[in-house]
Structure 1
Amino acid sequence: MKTSSDAGVKLMAPAGLTEPTRNSHLVNYALRGLRHCWLPQHGRWSHIYHLDGRAAPNQSLPQSDVFYTLNVLLGMSRTAEIPDSIGLSEIFQRNVRQLVSLPVPKYAYGMALWAAAELELGIPEEVAREVKALLDNRSGWENFRAQDLGMLLTGIVAMARADRKEWYRFAGPLFAFLRQRYHSPSGLFFDAPSGMRRRFASFATQVYLSIACYQYGDVAGDPLAIAMASACVRKLMALQGPRGEWPWFFDAVSGRVLDFYEVYSVHQYGMAPALLEWAERYDVHGAREALIKGFNWVLGRNQLERSMLVPELGLSIRSQIRRSELTTKLPRMLRAAAKAYLGRDSDLIDSSAVGLRLECRSYELGWILWSFGQRSDLPELADHQAFVPPVSPA
């Protein structure tokens, strides 16, 4: 076991070592990829691993690195076998303490609670004070975006499950705020409690708030919370693309797709499966089929008819996107606004105008670990030949 006095945490194992045997090929694929995203000098996983052939592919953005690292650790909490070279507690403590000194988004605190609960690790006192101050300030909730609220509520419920009951006092009020200010009659969720931006909601908006509702409803025994989450899932499945694409942008008022692009790999293999696992548990018809169809998009059943995997690295290509929008979001924003106010639906464009965003982010691999680390009922996905490591020549 190699350690770094600089980082204060164990290093990732080098490629080529014997892989854990109790994991699926998919889980080990993600663990291989995380080796490439590791920043030993910082003791965390990177913001971006660029797939364009540059000499130094890892790009660090400290506040993003730290959040992504907590997301990866959350995934590892559900992984059957973690390589001995990964010091979960050391990595967690090193990174969680940085939340109070970096300009992290509010949802990073929710991820910290969630990961701490699942890993059975303590939250440093200075971090706990910061989160409780955030939650005690009810007027500040008006500034929560959907991801902030969803992750904070999920993290609080996870702490309650882990018998840290002092956090549970926030759960009921947060869910009431969610129900009153974020739930749309369309079945989808709003992105914010008020404002012009509110109705323009992403796929991530739907996933984080639906998971929060399922988590809260499960612990509190609240059928309304479960019903809200399941209604959102049914709406999302109705809007899923013909090849399993999960659309990126919605009008939460009308329940329409405003833009399919970008179609993100992490939604297909990680975040949608995390949500649909809950939907399966609560007997949402078609959830399993939607999960499989979405996952197969990554394996090549997509608009470009190509795999989104990078097998030699254990990574994935981030997304399929309109070629003209690789470096700007402005056209997408204007197009979405026009379609929302004109009541028009969006559809897939001609494949000749679709390109690839050549990068991978470490949190994406963390979602694989979370969504498939404890599943043994989908071997056609988790042990697909695409994830089997190549045999080295003798």
Structure 2
Amino acid sequence: MVAISQTVQNETGPAGLLADSRLEGLRSVAPATHARLLQLIELAKDGLPQMHANGLFAHTVRKTNDNGGTGSGVRAEGDSLRYAINCALGLSYTDEETQRRLLDGRTAADLALQCAHRAQSSQDPGAVALAAWTAAEAAGVFTSELFAHLVALLESNRPIDTVDCSWTLIAAVAGSRLGDTRTLTRLARDRLLKGQGPYGLFPHHLPASASGRLRAHIGCFADQVYSTQGLARLSMISHDPDALAAANASGDAICRLQGPQGQWWWHYDTRNGTVVEGYPVYSVHQHAMGPMALLDLRDAGGHDHMASIARGIDWLDGPNEAGQSLVCNADNVIWRKVARHEPKKLVRAISAATTAAAPGLKVPGLDAVFRPGRIDYECRPYELGWLLFAWLSDGMKERLSAGPAAAEERPQ
């Protein structure tokens, strides 16, 4: 592995806030939410070690008791390359002492390069794109083999998940200072812009028809978030008004559709800009994924949605459908989601079918019969990694638009 020195990190405490930082922006709009978020950032740092062992991150940790999620134990399960990459990126924006404490003496750059090595043999295009992005951003390394894999994938014109395409664009933007990513940038950008619907929303696959007749009209929250983020970041490094306009349209759409308690809903109809099914509401959307996209949009000179961001964070502690906070300080986790009391995502399937038949068509009474409020007592590492990344990655525009840097190839 190549040892890469870290860039200067921003402090997260109140005394260390930059005048134009993301946290300072939140404090100016919602002081109480800002104070709570500082607590969540510390919770993330304390919670990640229980999810990490020997350079690997678990797929999830689950509650081990039946005390209503108030603490006294979680159990780590599985291994996830994607989540390890997410954590490497988030931790790269903490100070080196924190990184080494959480990663058994190693740095986030070390973890990013380990993940890039693992991704070489991965058949998961999302993991490949994430690894290329993180190696470039967190370690300053251009992973030529991973970028070549992504170019070949997009040049094949095979259908691709919208999230994977968005991550590919973000990787291309992050790597542009280190190597030639112009072809990849163009391919990913054009796929996204072509797939965006008339109300600013993106489908789940590109092209949308790859999702099948009953789901071609649907895009999930993640599809909107990462597309917005990728196009906003592209506009940071190039004069591309179409990319920024598309990012603004997507960001505006999810904020227009935000729930009355600050919920970021789950499934949207790309044809008419409405919500198909709101549940589950995922905690990571509320405090990390929604903010990371909208903050990048703000940093790119796009629309400012800080008030919507604050409402989303406030949902965690309530009022919410569960009637209690999703934050478990005793175990240093944030419980994963609030879902309906239903068998096997039944309402989602029903809503997909009815809206496929006619936009806006809903079966009456579903909310009453399958009421929301069930908490999923698990927490996945990427939730805490993305929390750190969303709120600590200040100065992104300056970092991405800086002059060319000498590429350092990772050993093949």
For the aligned pair, the TM-score class normalised by the smaller chain equals 0.7 to 0.9
Pair 1:98-2:110 in alignment:
no
Counterpart residue identity of residue 191, structure 1: H
Q: What corresponds to 2:231 in structure 1?
A: 213
Counterpart residue identity of residue 373, structure 2: V
Instruction: Name the SS for the 1:215 alignment partner.
Output: helix
Query: For structure 1, which segment, 260-269 or 250-259, has the greater mean C-alpha deviation from structure 2 after superposition?
Result: 250-259
Shift of 1:345: 6.6
Aligned with 1:115 (options 128, 134, 141):
134
Shift of 1:245: 0.2
Pair 1:177-2:185 in alignment:
no
Question: Matches of residues 130-279 of structure 1 in structure 2 within 5 Å?
Answer: 130-160=146-176, 163-180=177-194, 182-192=195-205, 193-195=207-209, 196=212, 197-279=215-297
Question: Matches of residues 1-394 of structure 1 in structure 2 within 5 Å?
Answer: 24-40=38-54, 43-53=55-65, 57-61=75-79, 65-80=80-95, 82-83=97-98, 84-85=100-101, 86=103, 87=106, 88-103=108-123, 105-122=124-141, 128-160=144-176, 163-180=177-194, 182-192=195-205, 193-195=207-209, 196=212, 197-281=215-299, 287-325=305-343, 328-344=344-360, 349-350=367-368, 353-374=372-393
Shift of 1:122: 2.6
Does the 8 Å CA contact 2:132/2:146 hold for their aligned counterparts? no
Does the 8 Å CA contact 1:260/1:348 hold for their aligned counterparts? no
Change (3 A) 1:154 1:243: same
1:301-343 Cα distance to aligned partner (Å, 9 max, x none)? 3122311111012111000001214xx2354223222134332
Query: For structure 1, which segment, 206-215 or 92-101, has the greater mean C-alpha deviation from structure 2 after superposition?
Result: 92-101
**TM-score calculated relative to the size of structure 2:** 0.77
Equivalenced residue count is 345
Identity across aligned pairs (percent)? 25
Counterpart residue identity of residue 321, structure 2: Q
Instruction: Find the aligned partners of 1:33 and 1:75 in 2 and give their Cα distance.
Output: 13
Change (3 A) 1:46 1:141: farther
Instruction: Find the aligned partners of 1:269 and 1:354 in 2 and give their Cα distance.
Output: 19
Instruction: Name the SS for the 2:352 alignment partner.
Output: helix
Instruction: Find the aligned partners of 1:251 and 1:295 in 2 and give their Cα distance.
Output: 24
Q: What corresponds to 2:33 in structure 1?
A: none
Instruction: Find the aligned partners of 2:359 and 2:250 in 1 and give their Cα distance.
Output: 20
- After superposition, the CA RMSD in angstroms is 2.7
Shift of 1:286: 5.7
Instruction: Find the aligned partners of 1:282 and 1:139 in 2 and give their Cα distance.
Output: 28
1:110-163 Cα distance to aligned partner (Å, 9 max, x none)? 211221122134355xxx324413313445343211011000000110111xx2
Change (3 A) 1:137 1:373: closer
Counterpart residue identity of residue 283, structure 2: S
Does the 8 Å CA contact 2:64/2:74 hold for their aligned counterparts? no
Query: For structure 1, which segment, 110-119 or 233-242, has the greater mean C-alpha deviation from structure 2 after superposition?
Result: 110-119
Counterpart residue identity of residue 173, structure 2: V
* Structure 2 residue ranges without an equivalent (≥5): 1-11, 18-37, 67-72, 396-412
Counterpart residue identity of residue 222, structure 1: D
Q: After TM superposition, where is structure 1 displaced by more than 6 Å over at least 4 residues in a row?
A: 20-23, 345-348
Change (3 A) 1:147 1:374: closer
Change (3 A) 1:352 1:332: closer
Change (3 A) 1:33 1:213: same
1:224-262 Cα distance to aligned partner (Å, 9 max, x none)? 100110011111111000000000001111111000001
Instruction: Name the SS for the 2:191 alignment partner.
Output: helix
Does the 8 Å CA contact 1:33/1:314 hold for their aligned counterparts? yes
Instruction: Find the aligned partners of 1:242 and 1:221 in 2 and give their Cα distance.
Output: 36
Query: For structure 1, which segment, 287-296 or 194-203, has the greater mean C-alpha deviation from structure 2 after superposition?
Result: 194-203
Query: For structure 1, which segment, 249-258 or 192-201, has the greater mean C-alpha deviation from structure 2 after superposition?
Result: 192-201
Does the 8 Å CA contact 1:47/1:58 hold for their aligned counterparts? yes
1:3-58 Cα distance to aligned partner (Å, 9 max, x none)? xxxxxxxxxxxxxxxxx976943322101110111123xx2111010124398711
Instruction: Find the aligned partners of 2:354 and 2:217 in 1 and give their Cα distance.
Output: 13
Query: For structure 1, which segment, 250-259 or 93-102, has the greater mean C-alpha deviation from structure 2 after superposition?
Result: 93-102
Shift of 1:213: 0.7
* Structure 1 residue ranges without an equivalent (≥5): 1-19, 377-394
Does the 8 Å CA contact 1:52/1:358 hold for their aligned counterparts? no
Counterpart residue identity of residue 188, structure 1: L
Does the 8 Å CA contact 1:30/1:369 hold for their aligned counterparts? yes
Change (3 A) 1:260 1:82: farther
